[in-house]
Structure 1
Amino acid sequence: MFPERFSNLPAYAFPRLRALLDVHEPGGEVRHMSIGEPKHAFPAWVTDVIVEHAAEFGRYPINEGTPELRAAIAGWLKRRYDADVDPDTQILALNGTREGLYNAGIALCPQGSTVLMPNPFYQVYMISAISAAAEPVFVPATDTTGHLPDFTTLPVDQLDRAALCYICSPANPQGVIADEAYWQALIELGEKHDFQILADECYSEVYRDTPPVGALQVAQAMGANAERVLTFHSLSKRSNLPGLRSGFVAGGPQSIARLKQLRAYAGAPIPMPLQRASERLWADEEHVVENRALYKAKYELADRIFGNVPGYMSPNAGMFLWLPVEDGEEATLKLWKETGVRVLPGSYLSRDTADGNPGQGFIRVALVAPYKDTETGLTLIRDCLFGQE
């Protein structure tokens, strides 16, 4: 009666976390550090823009995004990456990047292909591949590879069958950044084996010092096929607006046309007042600079608290710590029962392989709360799992 294609999937990360923890009483005040839901204030004027255009809730939204929104996005891509993108043919507004990352598999991936992705990874990559009747290929992103996947190590037959390659930079959960050389090598591999690169760059504006280089930026500088790279961005992390559900994908005209066609039948366009707010947000950098400074302060806080922990990785970008522990589930449960701090086992973001689960020896800790709350939570984690300073 029901399809079998999703029957062997594990429970999603957060239902698994609830099943692990909620049968036990917390050992202190509950502190949520498991989910990357930004808690910094978004610009106050966002509400004013939505109210100003509230009458447009009475209209069906423009599927591909208003001309003004697409122009604002194209302008941002030019300022941020010096990337030239036609707003009419190379940009599609999204109801959050997860929608686009999922639909890319449906719209662009032939059945029977392989879809390459890092391990650990954002789980929508795998579900997109399975939905497209493709084979997900999990490529370890561990300390031996600099916490970015080395796709060049894959067998030639898997590369030749590959249609899509998902890659996240700055990486979730590790926070490492793909540099220009990494992007060049991946794009060259895509050109050689004719697969498309889906660059999940939704954390690109949350970094310590140096702006991460972008996939589209490098592809254009190389003169790569315009269809080779699609980049996905969001206002959730950049502007502290996860509930706005506003992002975009930019790429080659043929790819965007196929995504637009699918979305016309099965998509959920952004409501018009929210598109109007998004227009303003992509045009404004002041609030982004302020937000980034708050995260930089918390990076430095984490360095102070965990600097003596063996294997600690100081974050250069993103909003997570990827902390080494003996066993992620055991550490998560111990933290909950003894302190009330709620984190996520690294294995919940990874898939088991013949060589084990690359997230098994980690926990992911979100740095999204205000500074003082973050300081308290990180101190509790250190004292509970690593011993007092």
Structure 2
Amino acid sequence: MFPERFSNLPAYAFPRLRALLDHHAPGGDIVHMTIGEPKHAFPAWVTDVIADNAAGFNKYPPNDGCPELLTAISGWINRRYGVAVPETQIMALNGTREGLYNAAMALIPEEKNGQQPVVLMPNPFYQVYAVATVSVNAEPVFVNAVAENGFMPDYTTLAPEVLERVAVAYICSPANPQGAVATRQYWRDLIALAEQYDFRIFADECYSEIYRNEAPSGALEVAREVGADPERVVIFHSLSKRSNLPGLRSGFVAGGPECIRRIRQLRAYSGAPLPLPLQLAAAKVWDDEAHVEENRRLYQEKFAIADEVFADVPGYQSPEAGFFLWLPVDDGEAAAMKAWTETGIRVLPGAYLSRDTEAGNPGKGYIRVALVAPKTEVRDALITLRDCIYG
């Protein structure tokens, strides 16, 4: 029987969107701007690396990551954040969603200070945070990430009796969907809070390489700067957005030696490691920055287009990073329906990414728009969307 604790989970966003729109005819040629699936080209040589190492499909892959991949990831962390992380404190992931879920399974205790543990998460949030929390019988606490707090959840405002039960706090920076970035001071404050109340930070940094001007600070680098407990921060990264390779399913988790030991132990029993030829391809991709710079340039062009198109829209905020627009509307569902039935453009109501709280649903007055299509298509669609919703 399906466990009762899963009954209160919010419905997944895309089935909800299909239920909302699919029984209505589109008002024009269909343009998908809902899913954050990169459309830019991945490095052409990736398939050559896979083909050259195809004999590796005849072997069971290393559970934790082959030496070449772990070395490449360690090198990338050092180049990107200036932090030397040994390969023993890294584990390759079959996509970061696996890691974000299994880290909760491996690291959240049954009790915290004799009570049910709490897991903090931003609202809006990535659904796996909530599913992982419920899976370990912890209590999810949703903290609204709204314009007033820079679209980053302020966990310092929570009551001490809540903070004393916190086992883990999830943070997504750059944030999906708002594109906000945690500043160095934000990380310092959160790490200090975690040190004070003895909880871990799960830093979901999958969008870290898609930014406008300045590379976002990382949780692990700030933790090292302030001398935090090495077990305090666990980071998660992926090639999906950085390198336009969502189908490669290559990511990693890195953290303190005890955290990674426990995550690796769980993987040994229940994980699905990446096939060896794909691991070797991923190693080459982590070692290359030229394609990442080109990818970032293409997104920067599309952000410039968005800023031009929506310059006169009240409440529009240009995102700092990521590849989504978080557009203000009166009602997200109504706006999505209007865009679909009048233009054929498919966007996602913000409420489908967030949870109702006492302070309201922070996504209700927004739609999320993915800028993953080619530049010309994005420009045409954004102009059409502006005229439809704000005209």
TM-score (norm 2): 0.98
How far apart in 1 are the matches of 2:222 and 2:341? Answer: 47
- The answer to whether the 8 Å contact 2:332/2:364 transfers is yes
Counterpart secondary structure, 1:177: coil
The corresponding residue for 2:77 is 77
The corresponding residue for 1:10 is 10
What is the total number of aligned residue pairs between the two structures? Answer: 386
How far apart in 2 are the matches of 1:2 and 1:210? Answer: 46
Note the alpha carbon deviations across 1:80-118, whole angstroms, 9 max, x for none: 00011011x210000000000011111000122000010
Give 5+ residue unaligned stretches, structure 2.
111-115
The corresponding residue for 1:220 is 224
The corresponding residue for 1:93 is 92
How far apart in 2 are the matches of 1:3 and 1:219? Answer: 37
How far apart in 1 are the matches of 2:60 and 2:103? Answer: 23
How far apart in 1 are the matches of 2:242 and 2:205? Answer: 11
What letter matches 1:141 in structure 2? A
Note the alpha carbon deviations across 1:259-279, whole angstroms, 9 max, x for none: 000011111100111101000
**Structure 2 counterparts to residues 245-260 of structure 1, below 5 A:** 245-260=249-264
The corresponding residue for 1:209 is 213
What letter matches 1:118 in structure 2? P
What letter matches 2:214 in structure 1? T
How far apart in 2 are the matches of 1:96 and 1:331? Answer: 32
In the TM superposition, residue 316 of structure 1 has moved relative to its aligned partner by 1.4
**Structure 2 counterparts to residues 165-204 of structure 1, below 5 A:** 165-204=169-208
1:322 is the counterpart of 2:326: yes
Counterpart among 331, 337, 344 of residue 333 in structure 1: 337
**Structure 2 counterparts to residues 19-38 of structure 1, below 5 A:** 19-38=19-38
Counterpart secondary structure, 2:230: coil
- The answer to whether the 8 Å contact 2:10/2:355 transfers is no
4+ aligned runs moved over 3 Å, structure 1:
none
What letter matches 2:259 in structure 1? S
**Structure 2 counterparts to residues 103-252 of structure 1, below 5 A:** 103-111=102-110, 112-252=116-256
In the TM superposition, residue 2 of structure 1 has moved relative to its aligned partner by 3.2
Counterpart secondary structure, 1:6: helix
Note the alpha carbon deviations across 1:189-228, whole angstroms, 9 max, x for none: 0000000000000000000110001000100111110000
How far apart in 2 are the matches of 1:327 and 1:266? Answer: 42
In the TM superposition, residue 61 of structure 1 has moved relative to its aligned partner by 1.1
Note the alpha carbon deviations across 1:123-146, whole angstroms, 9 max, x for none: 110110000110000001001111
What letter matches 1:284 in structure 2? D
The corresponding residue for 1:66 is 66
In the TM superposition, residue 346 of structure 1 has moved relative to its aligned partner by 0.3
How far apart in 2 are the matches of 1:115 and 1:8? Answer: 16
What letter matches 2:76 in structure 1? W
What letter matches 2:96 in structure 1? T
In the TM superposition, residue 37 of structure 1 has moved relative to its aligned partner by 0.2
In the TM superposition, residue 374 of structure 1 has moved relative to its aligned partner by 0.6
1:375 is the counterpart of 2:371: no
How far apart in 2 are the matches of 1:340 and 1:26? Answer: 4
Alpha-carbon RMSD across the aligned residues, in angstroms, is 0.7
In the TM superposition, residue 46 of structure 1 has moved relative to its aligned partner by 0.2
How far apart in 2 are the matches of 1:8 and 1:23? Answer: 26
How far apart in 2 are the matches of 1:3 and 1:295? Answer: 42
What letter matches 2:264 in structure 1? K
How far apart in 1 are the matches of 2:319 and 2:144? Answer: 19
In the TM superposition, residue 343 of structure 1 has moved relative to its aligned partner by 0.6
What letter matches 1:66 in structure 2? C
What letter matches 1:63 in structure 2? N
In the TM superposition, residue 9 of structure 1 has moved relative to its aligned partner by 2.1
How far apart in 2 are the matches of 1:268 and 1:378? Answer: 40
What letter matches 2:67 in structure 1? P
1:287 is the counterpart of 2:291: yes
How far apart in 2 are the matches of 1:105 and 1:61? Answer: 24
Note the alpha carbon deviations across 1:316-363, whole angstroms, 9 max, x for none: 100000000000001001100000000100000000111210100000
Counterpart secondary structure, 1:294: helix
What letter matches 2:152 in structure 1? L
In the TM superposition, residue 10 of structure 1 has moved relative to its aligned partner by 2.8
What letter matches 1:327 in structure 2? D
Counterpart among 261, 269, 276 of residue 273 in structure 2: 269
- The answer to whether the 8 Å contact 2:9/2:131 transfers is no
The corresponding residue for 2:354 is 350
In the TM superposition, residue 5 of structure 1 has moved relative to its aligned partner by 1.8
Counterpart secondary structure, 2:2: coil
In the TM superposition, residue 68 of structure 1 has moved relative to its aligned partner by 1.0
Counterpart secondary structure, 2:360: coil
